[in-house]
Chain A
Amino acid sequence: AQKITQTQPGMFVQEKEAVTLDCTYDTSDQSYGLFWYKQPSSGEMIFLIYQGSYDEQNATEGRYSLNFQKARKSANLVISASQLGDSAMYFCAMREDYGNNRLAFGKGNQVVVIP
């Protein structure tokens, strides 16, 4: 069963605008972690942000914030003030079962920032 769902088609975003990338997840665990990674055209996977299931505050890392809605099982990534370098694939991932550390990834969202 698919645990991470990212269904948005490729997105074009105007430079300096904000963009929200949707992610929903499926788990019966009470303790889990949610992650977002960026993969630019060069291919590397870059860690962006992490949210623990027990964290009451939404995680923020610079221009990245995670809109965590636990009851809806969603963990959307918000990128504020988009830059041309933000053009990439973005992957949502979930780790169930603390101490296990394995991540399950979604299919990714393609973002293209236009000047």
Chain B
Amino acid sequence: DAGVIQSPRHEVTEMGQEVTLRCKPISGHDYLFWYRQTMMRGLELLIYFNNNVPIDDSGMPEDRFSAKMPNASFSTLKIQPSEPRDSAVYFCASSFGEKLFFGSGTQLSVL
């Protein structure tokens, strides 16, 4: 199994630009999560899906953030417009049962 695949690994963009992060969960997993990691706030859950349906988006910081899961094998997290305070590592994770498996993360830098 290839594991959870995220792209890109690194993204550098300028303030105001749109950023799209991508995730391919492990085949057969029915839950998908987006987390953000910063030094100040640690790991924060942004949103999660069950069977492609968004269940809880209360962790999404503001309307600039949106996430979609059009099918069981793909999800996106979009930030529009991006701001410097969005700089962080964004993780996608998927699960079937108790264990949560993470992707390698996307290191986002907004200048």
A positions within 8 Å CB-CB of B:
33, 35, 37, 43-47, 50, 52, 91, 95, 101-108
Q: Is the CB of A101 within 8 A of B42?
A: no
Q: Is the CB of A102 within 8 A of B45?
A: yes
Tell me, yes or no, whether B87 is within 8 Å of chain A by CB: no
A14 to chain B, nearest CB (A): 28
Inside 8 A of A103's CB, which chain B residues have their CB?
A: 33, 45, 100
Q: Is the CB of A105 within 8 A of B43?
A: yes
Q: Is the CB of B101 within 8 A of A104?
A: no
Partner-binding segment picked from B18-26, B61-69, B72-80, B91-99? B91-99
A37–B93 CA distance with the chains assembled, in angstroms: 13
Q: Is the CB of B45 within 8 A of A104?
A: yes
A44–B56 CA distance with the chains assembled, in angstroms: 24
A89 to chain B, nearest CB (A): 10
Inside 8 A of A105's CB, which chain B residues have their CB?
A: 42-43
Inside 8 A of B56's CB, which chain A residues have their CB?
A: 102
Inside 8 A of A102's CB, which chain B residues have their CB?
A: 33, 45, 48, 56
Residue with the greatest number of chain B CB neighbours at <10 A, chosen from A35, A52, A101: A101
Partner of B104, one of A43, A101, A108: A43
Contact A47:B104 (CB < 8 A) given known A103-B45, A108-B42? no
A-B pairs with beta carbons under 8 Å apart, 15 shown: A37-B102, A43-B104, A43-B105, A44-B103, A45-B105, A46-B102, A47-B101, A50-B99, A91-B43, A95-B98, A101-B95, A104-B45, A106-B42, A107-B42, A108-B42
Closest B residue by C-beta to A91:
B43
Given contacts A45-B102, A101-B33, A102-B48, 6 further A-B contacts (CB under 8 A): A35-B98, A43-B107, A50-B98, A52-B98, A91-B43, A103-B45
Q: Which 9 A-B pairs have the closest CB atoms?
A: A45-B102, A105-B43, A101-B31, A107-B42, A44-B104, A50-B98, A47-B99, A33-B98, A43-B105
